């Protein structure tokens, strides 16, 4: 969603809350929606100047993340030996 769309949904939620006609369960959901949208918009505002001037904001190149396969078996890992046995419950 764009910033404008998020703001439009926030305005809608604020209008619903302002009427006072919503049942308590709906009012609580609108409040959670409003708080979440405000946090997202605040986060977008805080990161916008950094990402616009940052070289990392460019499209990722082919040298980015890649899948790595491990050829070792999970059971082949060696466990440290402490020199004592731990009694197990019977």
Q: Tell me, what's the pLDDT at 89?
A: 80
Is residue 21 in some structural domain?
A: yes
pLDDT in tens, 12-70: 999 999 998 989 999 999 999 999 999 999 999 888 765 555 555 556 566 777 777 77
Is residue 74 in some structural domain?
A: no
Residue 3: HSE in the Cβ half-sphere, 13 Å Cα cutoff: 8
Model-wide pTM > 0.75: no
Is residue 63 in some structural domain?
A: no
Is residue 52 in some structural domain?
A: no
Q: Tell me, what's the pLDDT at 81?
A: 66
Q: At what angle do helices 24-53 and 3-19 cross, to 10 degrees?
A: 160
Is residue 61 in some structural domain?
A: no
Is residue 53 in some structural domain?
A: no
């Amino acid at each position: 969603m764009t910033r404008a769309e998020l703001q439009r949904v926030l305005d809608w939620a604020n209008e619903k809350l302002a009427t006072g006609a919503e049942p308590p369960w709906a009012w609580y959901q609108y409040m959670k929606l409003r708080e979440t949208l405000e946090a997202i918009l605040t986060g977008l505002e805080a990161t916008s100047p950094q990402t616009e001037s940052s070289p990392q904001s460019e499209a990722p190149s082919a040298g980015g993340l890649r899948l790595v396969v491990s050829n070792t078996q999970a059971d082949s890992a060696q466990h440290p030996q402490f020199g004592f046995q731990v009694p197990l419950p019977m």
